[in-house]
């Protein structure tokens, strides 16, 4: 499967759109309305986490594998008693963070593209090319190595 097909299957544009909606939702402050990013960042971060979890779940189901988060037996027993034991990786912080990373990278790429369309010399493109892209690639490498180590134990 090529990358563009994979991105369509996991509906990346839909998730980035939801993130954009969360960031730009209007909230009142001093009888004036401004974007949530400035007025209600907790709301944005909650939406980002929910979107990230949904993205991680879609990634897992699309790839067709399951993986239970390795946690201590003591914590597992406490979570089981509370009815909140994670059953798949999107229920844990790793899955949510991977989804969030994908969404943020997509949003940054979108912003970089929008900025450079009007101004090819905009710093957003340089930021993306020099830093964000390399961080995405490095994160992928680290994630693969961690998963390989986890599978061998």
What are the pLDDT digits (tens) for 31-75?
Answer: 999 999 889 989 988 888 888 778 777 777 776 666 655 667 888
Spatial separation of the C-alpha atoms in residues 26 and 43, rounded to whole Å: 11
Q: Is the pLDDT of residue 87 over 70?
A: no
Spatial separation of the C-alpha atoms in residues 113 and 153, rounded to whole Å: 42
CB neighbour class for 112 (10 Å; exposed up to 12, middle 13-18, buried from 19): buried
Q: What are phi and psi of 28, to 5 degrees?
A: -85, 140
pLDDT of residue 109: 67
Per-residue pLDDT band at 25 (split at 50, 70, 90): very high
Q: List the alpha helices (DSSP H) in 73-122.
A: 73-82, 93-118
Spatial separation of the C-alpha atoms in residues 121 and 101, rounded to whole Å: 26
Decide which of 87 and 144 is more confident.
144
């Amino acid at each position: 499967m090529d990358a563009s097909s994979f991105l369509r299957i996991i509906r990346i544009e839909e998730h980035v759109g939801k993130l954009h909606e969360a960031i730009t939702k209007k909230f009142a402050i001093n009888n004036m309305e401004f974007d949530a990013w400035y007025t209600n960042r907790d709301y944005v971060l909650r939406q980002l986490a929910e979107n990230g979890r949904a993205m991680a779940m879609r990634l897992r189901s699309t790839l067709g594998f399951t993986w239970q988060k390795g946690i201590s037996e003591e914590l597992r027993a406490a979570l089981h008693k509370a009815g909140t034991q994670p059953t798949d990786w999107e229920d844990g912080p790793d899955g949510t963070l991977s989804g969030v990373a994908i969404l943020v990278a997509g949003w940054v790429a979108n912003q970089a593209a929008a900025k450079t369309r009007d101004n090819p010399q905009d710093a957003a493109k340089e930021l993306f090319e020099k830093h964000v892209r390399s961080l995405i690639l490095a994160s992928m490498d680290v994630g693969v190595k961690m998963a390989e180590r986890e599978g061998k134990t």
